[in-house]
A and B are shown apart, each in its own frame.
Chain A
Amino acid sequence: MNCNNHKHNYKFSRRDFLTKTSLGMGALTVGSLISPSSLYSQSNYINNRLPHFPAKAKRVIYLLQSGAPSQLDLFDYKPLLNKLNGTELPDSVRGGQRLTGMSSGQSSFPLAGSIFKFKKFGKSGAWMSELMPYTSQIVDDLCFIKSMYTEAINHDPAVTFLQTGSELPGRPSIGSWISYGLGSDNKNLPEFVVLVTKDKFGQPLYSRLWGNGFLPSKHQGVQFRSGKNPVLYLDNPPGVTADIRKEQLEYLKKLEKINHRDVGDPEILSRMSQYEMAFRMQSSVPEVMDVSKEPEYIYDLYGKESRNPGSFAANCLLARKLIEKDVKFVQLYHQGWDQHGDLPNAIKVQCKDTDQPTAGLIKDLKQRGLLDETLVIWGGEFGRGSYSQGTLTKTNYGRDHHPKCFTIFMAGAGIKKGITIGSTDDFGYNIKERPVHVHDFQATLMHLLGIDHERLTFKHQGRRYRLTDVHGEIVKEILS
């Protein structure tokens, strides 16, 4: 099949129609007499064959840690905070930085050192806290960026920014852009699949985070759930057999074709392809979701929770299976990192959920030769602050949102192994070296997939949009 060469055959939308005919109906008739084809010229047709240049990464698994994990208790070791534990955060360090409404009323901002022990691991000597014993074992495969920063200070705008490049809702998610740009490698599964850890609470997640925005709807992320119906409403209703469904779809297709011929709405094509995809998914999804054939040692690798469908561990295992089936973008979400209070206890639970499965996933991809072609990303939407929110005791503290610096790590395709780039000051408050903006991260991600983030655009409401807006510089230091 002609995969990355697919023309996006959207004819013309209402808006295109109006712009093309803006000289009035007279111009329309003259114009179409002279050259009927130009009337239908496709404003959103991607001229070039994508990728723009040879890609290092073919697929992405994004382990999004919703709620923002505390980099100060996991990766960004700051002994000075322990030394100055309980003393005030100097104004010179804070520099008038805005705070959330949750801690801006505090009369005091006592510095809170992490109560967790840090150690250097691996040949690369990356600092890790005792909270992540499994990930600590694979640091030589990881690339840490300790100097990420964002503009938003609250969860919704921050996670929307991270996923769509804009704090305002309505833009396409990264996965949708990838699906739009690169198309499908497996016509039986969606290009963009979403897995959310079940029974977790915290900051809300909603489908617009994996939505297609203004891109054709077939590029939206498809959520796979645990349990009997992985994809809602995918199964045939009782009494409808596969044959009946097939026949029905064939008739529908004829009707939609006529409809499209008459109206020319690009969404008709999108809908048709989604019907067909859904039909194919009726057999492909149960197959890929079936983990019963996985051997014991694979479950052991991901941790015992991996037998519990819907857990983060089980989702990691599924992510691997989806990658094996050439799904381009697998987006995981794991809630519960928003630890304003009682951080030391809450973060332990979170790490227990995610540490072993993350390391297991990376090892599993590696032994199958998939890590070479797959980019794995772990991180939240922003960081957490170095002063305690609420009362600081010997064993307990909380941390408020901190957009000025946070840590993420990546592994796999096209990424240097065993390196750390960027650093923060001794208070873990400001970036000292090599700031990496969210748009830079997004530009780099696109680059690894062989996409020039400045060239992948979509015209909407009269202007061309792209994931990185008008920003984004590739973080060359981490490219292998």
Chain B
Amino acid sequence: MFSIEISTFLGRFHPLIVHFPIGFIFLGILIETYTNIIKLRIHRKVIAFCWMMGLITSIFAVIFGWLLTLNGYYIENQISLHKWSGVFLLFLTFIGWLIKSNILNLFKKQDFFINFLVILTLVIVGHQGANITHGKNYLYEYLPSNINNFFQEKKNVKYYENSEIDSIKIFTDLILPVFENKCIDCHNQNIKSGGLNMLTIKDIKNGGLSGKSIIAGNSSKSLIFQRATLSQDNKKFMPPTGIPLTYDEINLIKWWIDKYLNSDLKLSELKLSGEEKSLLEKLYKINMNPKPYYEKLKDLPKINIDELEVLEKSEFKWNFISDNYELLEIKFTGKKIDDEKILKLKKFSNHIVSLSMTNCKLTNDNLQKISDLYNLVNLDINNNSNISDDGIKFLKNLENLEKINLYGTNVSNLIFENLVEFKKLKKIYLWKTNVTKNEVDKFNLENSDKQIFLGI
């Protein structure tokens, strides 16, 4: 029909035109009601004329509004209520005109009824339209805050104050939420405005009608960045409607394009500058220092101290890690350990974070019995010559292990296969084992997050 430019040009008259039907219809209803009240007899054609004018201008309003939606700058699910209630209003106005012109005669109270219905619909349509142009909170913003809280739409902002930095991924958790808030409504797999889908890195890279929309390492040449940083009155500015990206969001996207576009790295894998850290802290409340393990174990049930006596009888010494955590450090103080003693620990399996069983003839099979100490962070089994690589396999459930002391055991180079499995493991003591320096060096190259101590 028209080119997008012309339709948009005409469409932008919609906000002007909509005021005519409002005026005419109101005027019609006003005259009718007023003359009724003061019992003045006027010609019904006057009222019918108002409705007719209302009907004609309504038709224009709908057409121009429709044209405005064609350019894709509005988000379908945000405008559909306005759109269809507007069409419904047109229909009601038509019925109203028929009634007022005495063409239609339905029932006795039809005049009052149609007036009421039209005004109600008008309020709804008008409010929806204003939401689109002024934003949803425009009307309520300055209400007293207790009432305002009721109406105001809750912003759904993502914060990561309680997340671990090794659980936060750059694209999925930092970039995508920004896009979801401000771009995805018009750029997804169903509505690909400009041919662009912004849901995955791959789709973004593929770009839209103008080709690649992003160039790794070069934000200023990337269309996404360019369009979001144009002057707001430029018609190419993105997002065309709604709230633009904030300064911090723009910085975040620039940082991402310039440095980390190629894979969805975890935050813990990056070396961040102070400025980058404070940006993330501000936007997402991310706490850049990894939390110590005990912070995550705050809600364990209280231990009954009398029950710990069982441990003492089996030659285990216990300590609470501190006053405010129900977490235990356990040390075997005897000369020889066995399964029966180890099984006494089961009762406290969630509470034990540190376990030491050194120089006590511990065997591989014994280790199987501690495989459910899920919260274990520190395991010290040094100087047990019966322990070999097979024993380490039993530990693979201990996901939270950060430190393991195996010095003076019989583990060998085969252990490295198992060690990689422990995601949180940071320190491994392997002095006086069958592990060789060469293999340690190799392991270190690939696993910079783990530190191996080989000794003199």
B324 at the interface (CB under 8 A from A): yes
| B308 closest partner in A (C-beta) | A2
B170-192 at interface with A (beta carbon < 8 Å): none
Report the separation of the CA atoms of residues A4 and B453 in the bound assembly, to the nearest whole angstrom: 30
Q: In the complex, what residue of chain B is closest to A188 when comparing beta carbons?
A: B333
Q: Which residue on chain A has the smallest CB distance to residue B309?
A: A2
Q: Which residue of A lies closest to B311 (CB)?
A: A1
Instruction: List residues of chain B with CB within 8 A of the CB of A3.
Output: 317-319
Let me know if A369 and B322 touch, CB within 8 A: no
A369 and B380 within 8 A (CB): yes
The answer to whether B323 has its CB under 8 Å from any CB of chain A is yes
C-alpha gap A219/B321 in the complex (Å): 22
The digit string for A1-39, where 1 denotes a CB below 8 A from any CB of B, is 111110000000000000000000000000000000000
Does B301 sit within 8 A of A, measured CB to CB? no
In the complex, are the beta carbons of A367 and B453 less than 8 A apart? yes
Residues of A within 8 A of B405 (CB): 368-369
| Binding-face segment, A44-52, A83-91, A254-262, A271-279 | A44-52
A1 to B309, CA, bound (A): 8
User: B327 — nearest CB in chain A belongs to which residue?
Assistant: A54
- Tell me which of A49, A51, A52, A54 has the highest count of chain B C-beta atoms within 10 A of its own C-beta: A54
Also in contact, A367 and B429, with CB within 8 A (given A2-B305, A51-B323, A53-B323) = yes
Q: Find chain A residues with CB under 8 A from B403 CB.
A: 369, 372
Q: With A and B bound together, what is the CA distance between A296 and B308 in angstroms? A: 42
Assess whether A368 is in contact with B322, with CB atoms less than 8 Å apart: no
A55 proximity list for chain B (CB < 8 A): 321-322
Cα of A384 to Cα of B318 in the assembled complex, Å: 46
A185: min CB distance to chain B, Å: 7
CA distance A55 to B294 in the complex (A): 11
Neighbouring A residues of B318 by C-beta, 8 Å: 3
Count contacts on A: residues with CB < 8 A to the other chain: 25
B108 to chain A, nearest CB (A): 81
User: Would you call B325 an interface residue if the criterion is a C-beta within 8 Å of the partner chain's C-beta atoms?
Assistant: yes
Q: Mark B325-348, 1 if CB is under 8 A from A, else 0.
A: 100000100000000000000000
Name the contact of B322 in the complex, choosing from A1, A49, A185, A297 (C-beta under 8 A): A49
Q: Is B322 within 8 A of A51, CB to CB? A: yes
Main secondary structure on B side of the interface with A: mixed
> B431 contacts which chain A residues (CB < 8 A)?
367-368
**Is A291 interfacial (CB 8 A cutoff)?**
no
Given the known inter-chain contacts A54-B292, A368-B407, A368-B429, please indicate yes or no for A297 contacting B323, CB distance below 8 A: no
Residues of A contacting B427 with CB < 8 Å? 369, 372
Given the interface pairs A1-B312, A1-B317, A372-B403, the reply to whether A366 lies near B453 with Cβ below 8 Å is: yes
Is B144 part of the contact surface with A, judged by Cβ < 8 Å?
no
CA distance A50 to B453 in the complex (A): 31
A4 CA to B324 CA, complexed, in Å: 13
Find out whether the CB atom of B429 lies under 8 angstroms from the CB atom of A4. no
The CA-CA distance from A301 to B431 in the complex, in Å, is 15
The answer on a CB contact under 8 Å between B453 and A49 is no
A266 at interface, CB cutoff 8 A: no
Check if B382 is an interface residue, CB within 8 A of chain A.
yes
Cβ of A450 under 8 Å from chain B? yes
B453 engages A369 (CB within 8 Å): yes
| Binary contact readout B406-448 vs A (1 if CB under 8 angstroms, 0 otherwise) | 0100000000000000000001010100000000000000000
A369 to B455 CA separation, bound complex (whole angstroms) = 10
- CA gap between A52 and B325 in the complex, in Å: 10
Q: A301-B456, A367-B453, A367-B456 in contact; A53/B324 too (CB < 8 A)?
A: yes
A4→B321 CA distance, assembly (Å) = 9
A363 at the interface (CB under 8 A from B): yes
Contact of B456 among A1, A50, A51, A363 (CB under 8 A): A363
How many angstroms from the CA of A85 to the CA of B405 in the assembled complex?
A: 52
Q: How far is the CB of B371 from chain A (nearest CB, A)?
A: 22
Ordered nearest first, which 6 A-B pairs have the shortest CB separation? A367-B455, A369-B405, A369-B429, A49-B323, A367-B431, A51-B322
- 7 A-B pairs with C-beta separation under 8 A: A1-B312, A2-B305, A54-B292, A297-B456, A364-B456, A369-B403, A372-B403
